[in-house]
Amino acid sequence: MTPDESNTLLQVGYFVWYTILGQIIGCIFFGVYIGISVIAIHVLVSKVHRSRPYQIALFMQLCLLVNTIGIFLAYSSEGILQAIVISSTHESTTINLFNNMIAWLMSLNLFIGDTLVIWRAWAIWHGHKWIQHIWIILAVCNAVPMFLALTIWGGPGSAENLRAVLKNSCNVLISLTINILATVAIAYKARMVVISRSKTQRSTNMFEKVHHHGRTQVQKTLWVMVESGAIFCVLQYCMCSLGFQKCSYFAMFVTASVNRSRIPLEGHTPFETYSIIIGPNGYHWDVPITDNSVSPSIESGGVSGAGKTTSRMLAGLLRLDDAYPYPKGNDCEIVLGLG
């Protein structure tokens, strides 16, 4: 086994290891979330007189619970479905549809959570119309990039890159910023309530020492909202950091694979096939390197076709020629993996 082949196997091993580790961590956090959700639902249901805010919070909590269960089941079965699709004759569009479903569920979950945070900040600042209007505008600004990333943009090229930026970076950063602003606004309001109550609810003893009374139920509720909002922001920041780290690691893995693929592949190799991914949408096929010619099928931007080429196409960056009904001058990256 050559050093390049050993490095390839090492990279694949790291990738599989981080995938398994991510599944384990996801299961742990899912269990914690289920436990906290059950406790929250029990508290909301146990209220004898449930007003409209309690009913809204209970409905949203139930939606979050059902949606999170769907995300966990879909994310856990993604690898199994991908293995079934690759081993069968089905098209890879099944995986794309499955990934789109997961993206919709995750975005909906994030949208419901952000709506809860903004809604309670809006309710805390009752009586300040202009501040409440600001929260409504922020809620709209939070929802627009999310739904634009999921519905409007798609396809190859710059449109796909713009959709990826909206979905992976802009959307999450806007959500985190709004949650931080809402938590700070609730904390400021809670501090104002504490200061105003401390001035009115205090007494002096015979030695003229001032004694402050304990926190009221309103103050306790406000500080619980502040603490829960802070925890939510910290968890969201951790999610953003892990997401960016994952994207960086995957980019390094892809770059290393493409660089190693520039070596001559006409000779001996331990793999029977290579999976080649072309374009931003991840269209791929398996190329048997034992054959001197293959006929891959390319589908991108509504244009599809088949052509004949040799294993020279495994040499890093390739330029499609007249054999493919694809816009000329487009460089396509290929990624080597286990067949």
Same domain for 136 and 235?
Answer: yes
**Domain containing residue 298:** 273-332
In a domain, residue 145? The reply is yes
Same domain for 189 and 286?
Answer: no
Confidence of residue 84 (pLDDT cuts 50, 70, 90): low
Confidence of residue 267 (pLDDT cuts 50, 70, 90): very low
In a domain, residue 243? The reply is yes
In a domain, residue 198? The reply is yes
The residue to which tokens 């996801």 are assigned: 26
Same domain for 228 and 295?
Answer: no
% of the chain residues with pLDDT over 70: 45
Residue 225 class from Cβ within 10 Å (0-12 exposed, 13-18 middle, 19+ buried)?
A: buried
Tokens, residue 68: 């999170």
Same domain for 244 and 312?
Answer: no
Across the range 220-236, mean pLDDT stands at 70
The pLDDT assigned to 152 comes to: 60
Tokens, residue 65: 């619970």
Number of domains making up the chain: 2
Q: Are 126 and 136 in contact (CB under 8 A)?
A: no
In a domain, residue 185? The reply is yes
Same domain for 133 and 217?
Answer: yes
Same domain for 168 and 247?
Answer: yes
Q: State the maximum Cα–Cα separation within the chain, in Å, rounded to a whole number.
A: 100
Same domain for 252 and 227?
Answer: yes
Q: 338 to each of 12, 235, 332, how far by Cα in Å? A: 8, 35, 20
Q: Are 217 and 150 in contact (CB under 8 A)?
A: no
Cα–Cα distance, 219 to 190 (Å, whole number): 7
Max mean pLDDT among 19-33, 155-169, 317-331 falls in: 19-33
% of the chain residues with pLDDT over 90: 0
The pLDDT assigned to 68 comes to: 82
Cut 0.85: pTM above it:
no
* Boundary of a domain, candidates 258, 283, 302: 258
* pLDDT 10s digits, 185-197: 888 887 887 777 6
In a domain, residue 153? The reply is yes
Same domain for 222 and 328?
Answer: no
Tokens, residue 237: 């920041």
Tokens, residue 235: 């968890």
